[in-house]
A and B are shown apart, each in its own frame.
Chain A
Amino acid sequence: MKTGSKIFQWLDERFELTPVIEFMSKKKVPLHNHTIWYYMGGVTLFLFIVQVATGILLLLYYRPGSDSAYESIRFILTKVNFGWLIRSIHSWSANLMIFFAFIHMFSTFFTRAYQKPRELTWVTGFILLVLGMAFGFSGYLLPWNELAFFATKVGTDIVGVIPFVGSFLLELLRGGEDVTGATLTRFYGIHVAVLPAIFTVLVALHLLFVQRQGMSVPENLKDLPEEKMREMPFFPHFFLRDALLWMVVLNVLLFLAVFYPWDLGFKADTFAPAPAGIKPEWYFMFMFQTLKYLPAHILVFEGEMIGVLAFTVAGIAWMLVPFWEVKSRKGMKKNVMMITGVAALTFIIVITIIGYLS
């Protein structure tokens, strides 16, 4: 017997691996017009793995603190071998991860894969997107540059408008009344310890749900007789295609990181005016831009409070889509949900574009 199979037998005897392999070998992926969307979650996961790997490498040189953070990143960029590359990949991959998570979410929405029995897969997925954005927000401050400083001032000040607990949460997040070095160390802890821990548990749960329930099939194909349903084995067919796509994404990522290296900007000065043309990361742009349009007061409330409340309610409603999905007469359902999705997507895209043009 070969060494490989000997080792396998040894493990199998102890951990009963055969049923697991049996399960995996029977795993099938349905083939249809929308099969392409099945790859988006995988790409997002791959980019998360890239984030963890490059993040750990950055940790080796990064020093949090208002007089060391910016300097340590400049050191990484200018002195450390390939430091510029690692940092650039980390920044680009973060953005691509959010981008693919959005695509993954909207494709799930439009193919209505969130329906029973996959409600909790949708909910965990949405929480993962929110956590991904929290990763972006907390990581954005870590270089302690001008843009990051003001983005954090604005972002945390928004938390302060929440009724009753706002000022407490604001102090908790900032580590004081203002954005200072204390905020930086808090965000650092959140970014490298708190969020990764919660994120990893949720990713595991999300994947477990997908494994347990299999891929969702679009509604028009559900009624097809079994012999007409085209499928492909997960191992090795789908897996290899997945791996190939990951390689393509890695190459695109490297191309972006090398040819469009991420800027470090100027060091934050806590006593300088906000620079002209200040903008948040693109995935916060639609919220940022909407806040610009709101008048100072709506009835007796401050405009931003109404704006923040509206986004919170919309976000929760979106997370709970599987539970309130409009189920009216036959043929109606699709239209209502389709209009909701198209409206949300159009709003996000149009406001984001306006934000960049103005």
Chain B
Amino acid sequence: MKTSRRKFLNIALGTSFFGWIVSVIYPIFTYLKPPKIPEAVVNSIKAGTASDFPANSGKIVKFGRVPVLVIKTVEGNFRAFAGTCTHLDCIVQYRDDLKQIWCACHNGLYDLRGINVSGPPPRPLEEFAVDVQNDEIFITKKLS
């Protein structure tokens, strides 16, 4: 009888101790996880005037909180891709000498269709739609 009472107390105390630990750890753990900040969903942006954009060049524009690379090819066509390298998150740039998209961090290369052609990037860059209306460049998210 004596032993079982001791056992009962041990289990009761042990369980409540475990519960206490959880009640301490849980708030700390959730505190560390940053709260979601609501943001306006961006579907389309203006990226400047087409005639001011030199051919064979590229620039990074803000698409909400993500960078987008806009390129004007040698032929004068516009292309836009997600500006974040699919390898390790660096921001890519247009290389006018190579006529390709280049990531300086690990020497990854993409062609002008956004397809990974050399180096470590595992996936192509996401493509955005570009429309030029009244000399104004509009970039829109493509529907997947």
Instruction: List residues of A whose CB falls within 8 A of some B CB.
Output: 150, 153-154, 156-158, 168, 171-172, 175-176, 178, 182, 270-278, 288, 291-292, 294-297, 302-304
Q: 25 A–B contact pairs at CB < 8 A?
A: A150-B91, A150-B105, A153-B90, A154-B90, A168-B33, A171-B33, A171-B34, A172-B32, A175-B34, A176-B34, A178-B65, A270-B67, A272-B60, A272-B91, A273-B69, A273-B104, A274-B103, A275-B104, A277-B104, A278-B90, A294-B120, A296-B122, A297-B122, A303-B120, A304-B120
Q: Are A292 and B91 in contact (CB under 8 A)?
A: no
Which residue of A is nearest B103, CB measured? A274
Apart from A157-B89, A296-B87, list 15 A-B contacts with CB within 8 A.
A150-B91, A171-B34, A172-B33, A175-B34, A271-B60, A272-B91, A273-B60, A273-B69, A273-B104, A274-B103, A274-B104, A274-B105, A278-B104, A291-B106, A297-B122
Q: Are A296 and B88 in contact (CB under 8 A)?
A: no
Which residues of B lie under 8 Å from residue A303 when comparing CB positions? Answer: 120, 122
Cβ-Cβ contact count across A and B, 8 Å cutoff: 75
Can you list the 6 inter-chain pairs with the closest CB atoms, starting with the nearest? A273-B93, A157-B89, A274-B104, A274-B90, A296-B122, A154-B88
Which residue of B is nearest A172, CB measured? B32
Candidate in A157, A182, A270, A273 with the most chain B CB atoms within 10 angstroms: A273
Taken residue by residue from 53 to 90, chain B's Cβ proximity to chain A (1 for < 8 Å, 0 otherwise) reads as: 00000001110010101000000000000010001111
Smallest Cβ distance from A138 to chain B, in angstroms? Answer: 16
Which residue of B is nearest A289, CB measured? B106
The yes or no answer to B119 lying at the interface (CB within 8 A) is: yes
Q: Are A273 and B87 in contact (CB under 8 A)?
A: no
Smallest Cβ distance from B54 to chain A, in angstroms? Answer: 16
Complex: A303 Cα to B116 Cα, angstroms? 14
**B interface: dominant SS:** loop
Complex: A154 Cα to B120 Cα, angstroms? 13
Smallest Cβ distance from A292 to chain B, in angstroms? Answer: 5
Complex: A152 Cα to B93 Cα, angstroms? 19
One of A153, A178, A182, A277 near B88 (C-beta < 8 A): A153
Complex: A304 Cα to B89 Cα, angstroms? 12
Smallest Cβ distance from A329 to chain B, in angstroms? Answer: 43
Given A291-B120, A292-B119: A182 and B34 within 8 A (CB)?
yes
Which residue of B is nearest A292, CB measured? B106
Smallest Cβ distance from B34 to chain A, in angstroms? Answer: 5
Smallest Cβ distance from B18 to chain A, in angstroms? Answer: 23
Q: Are A296 and B121 in contact (CB under 8 A)?
A: yes
Which residues of B lie under 8 Å from residue A271 when comparing CB positions? Answer: 60-62, 67, 91
CB-CB contacts below 8 Å: B112-134 with A? 116, 119-122
Complex: A303 Cα to B90 Cα, angstroms? 17
Complex: A158 Cα to B122 Cα, angstroms? 14
Complex: A272 Cα to B90 Cα, angstroms? 10
Which residues of A lie under 8 Å from residue B92 when comparing CB positions? Answer: 273-274
One of B87, B104, B107 near A304 (C-beta < 8 A): B87
